[in-house]
Amino acid sequence: MPYLQIFLTVALVHLLAVISPGPDFMMITRNSLIYSRKTGIYSAIGLGLGILVHITYSLVGIGYIISQSIVLFNTIKILGALYLIYIGYKSLTSKAPTIEKESEGANTKSISDFEAIKIGFITNVTNPKATLFFLSLFTIVISPDTPLWVKLLMGGEMSIVTFAWFALVAIILSHHLVKQRIGKIQHYAEKFIGIVLIGLGVKVALSSR
């Protein structure tokens, strides 16, 4: 296949980008530990759907506009930073939960499946790191002559891999053995994650293009 090499290259580059720690990872960690495995997995679905947004604007040419417009890019950056700070603030100001065994309900805290998907989706779509990654990918790695169906196949693969990786992270972090170890310090862990998210938000807001 003439496009197999570029497909594998894009897949590898994306995988390395996905597994590197960032806002997406911290959000999945937070939702998996504070809420439940189900919430973590639904948040991973939101991250996968967010990838499709990056793919779409890259394909239709809006990505080029974003790359050329400092105002537009900075708007996306600030929105992403504010959302991270907001999620971090919620973690910092939350009350200590009542720790229960997973078989008895896992955690008194809960959010709807839609809310979990929304958190994952917004976190990914407003992540400047993801925006820069896809702008670079579609301007440097993927040739403009690459057929649309190949680009769509790459986009589908990246969306699925994003979901699969973060779903795996959610499954591991929500395992009862992990939760048992973290259970006694869960409230402090939530505060720590909140501080990290706020720190990431501030770093994103102050970072240069």
Report the alpha-carbon distance of residue 89 to residue 22 in Å, rounded: 17
Residue pair 46/123 in contact by the 8 Å Cβ criterion: yes
pLDDT in tens, 101-143: 444 444 456 789 999 999 999 999 988 888 888 877 877 777 7
Query: What pLDDT sits at residue 63?
Result: 64
Q: Which residues of 156-166 are buried (b: 16+ CB within 10 A; e: fewer)?
A: ebbbebbbebb
- Quote the CA–CA distance of 90 and 23 in Å, as a whole number: 15
The tokens for 72 are 């537009």
Residues 156 and 153: their CA atoms lie apart, in Å, by 5
Q: Can you state the percent helix, strand and coil of the chain, rounding each to 5?
A: 80, 0, 20
Q: What is the DSSP string of 121-144?
A: HHHHHT-HHHHHHHHHIIIIIS-T
Top-ranked range on mean pLDDT: pick from 87-96, 149-158, 192-201: 149-158
The pLDDT tens digits of the residues spanning 48-103 come to 999 999 999 888 776 667 767 777 777 877 887 887 788 778 777 766 554 444 44
Q: Kindly state the greatest CA–CA separation across the chain.
A: 57
Can you tell me the distance from the alpha carbon of 153 to that of 38, in angstroms, rounded to the nearest whole number? Answer: 28
Q: How far apart are CA 80 and CA 186, in angstroms?
A: 26
Q: What is the mean pLDDT of the chain?
A: 81
How many CA atoms, within 13 angstroms, populate the side-chain half-sphere of residue 71?
0
- Tokens representing 108 are 């008194």
